[in-house]
A and B are shown apart, each in its own frame.
Chain A
């Protein structure tokens, strides 16, 4: 799914100077604990999170995450935005909560990219 479609589905606001039309998203995961993200997210996912600190972007860079969506209308810290722009990772803000944002994307056909316990993310 194109990132531009993801943004319009959740009525999001793109905060970084990146062209969303050209970015293809494989699936999605929602979480607030970055260790959980590192354990379970598959590459090329969009991450939905309520956490707004720079570690989210660091995690995204390490785990090959395509884009970050900040839920619950939270504004990311300035450092977070700076690193995101530097690392060329698109960041999006939505007023929706985590559950609803994930639900809308899942219903629209964006696959789950979070592995279940027991599955190995690094394989």
Chain B
């Protein structure tokens, strides 16, 4: 974790945003060292010297009848060695009333104190004021790293689980069906469903190319439902190990001349819709280019059904 004075390069800067977020999310109790060895105030400094040497301590809290009364650091020990004062006790050399942290505070609060004071460790107390742990900068770095790793693993696990869905579940024909209700005229949400579909495919292990192709085709179909229907419609995506079948259907008004509608540039969109960046007359044409198979069935009374099929098996991938 960088302190205020460190110079960051640009690569660090990206990582930091998530690390900084974590510094706000993580509580001190999640990263502090528990099982703290504390010293009684009456302990002889000679004994402390032995303990610090043996246990490789660089500091310890001083506790008397469950209450934290001070902290003894390696600097204090050095002072004692210089003085050579016989029979000196912990109480003579400790720093009394140290700055403490509460266990439920965010890690970032401790970081502020570390950078303001230059202290090496902070005792951590619970609600009742009992000493429950000790926090060093090292604890924070380790805690943040663990949290970052957990983040990474969580996404890895999701990807692993979803990509093995079809192997884990046995049936004669397994498929996953995603359904999205698309509202007429809802431009703000336009593309939302396709974004979810693309993300789902990537999580299931589809290649970037297939996910992009399917994303483009469903996006066009989704916008058609928003722009051209009477009452909106449904986007239904069936994912099987070897193919993706997309169906976009609505209850009207239907397409008068399907062949004409397929021509690039042909559009019935209003000026208003064109102002929004749509209605270029490329939708169906574009879907057809992305699909391995496409069928458009439309009638004036029953509305429109659009079927798009893409094959996932590499040998069948006609459009890699």
Q: Which residues of A contact B (CB under 8 A)?
A: 17-19, 21-22, 32-36, 38-39, 43, 49, 51, 53-56, 58-59, 61-64, 79, 87, 120-123
Q: Is B236 an interface residue (CB 8 A)?
A: no
Is B118 on the interface with A (CB-CB < 8 A)? no
| Size range of the chain B interface in the assembly | 35 or more
A60 to chain B, nearest CB (A): 10
Asked whether B307 is an interface residue with its Cβ less than 8 Å from the other chain, the reply is no
A51, B14: Cα distance in complex, Å: 28
A97–B138 alpha-carbon span in the complex (Å): 52
A122 and B188 in contact, given A19-B13, A33-B274 (Cβ under 8 angstroms): no
- Cα A99 to Cα B304 in complex, Å, equals 39
A122 to B214, CA, bound (A): 10
- Using Cβ atoms and an 8 Å threshold, which residues of chain A touch B13? 19
Measured between alpha carbons, how far is A120 from B264 in the docked complex, in Å? 14
Taking A36-B282, A61-B195 as known contacts, 15 extra A-B pairs with beta carbons closer than 8 A to each other, sorted by chain A number, are: A19-B11, A22-B11, A35-B223, A35-B280, A35-B281, A38-B216, A38-B219, A38-B220, A39-B286, A53-B277, A54-B188, A58-B190, A58-B191, A122-B212, A123-B319
**Are the C-beta atoms of A21 and B10 separated by less than 8 Å?**
yes
Asked if B14 contacts A22 (CB within 8 A), the reply is yes
**Beta-carbon contact of B208 and A122 below 8 Å:** no
B320 within 8 A of A: yes
User: How would residues 252 to 274 of chain B score, 1 for a CB under 8 Å from any chain A CB and 0 otherwise?
Assistant: 00000000000000000000001
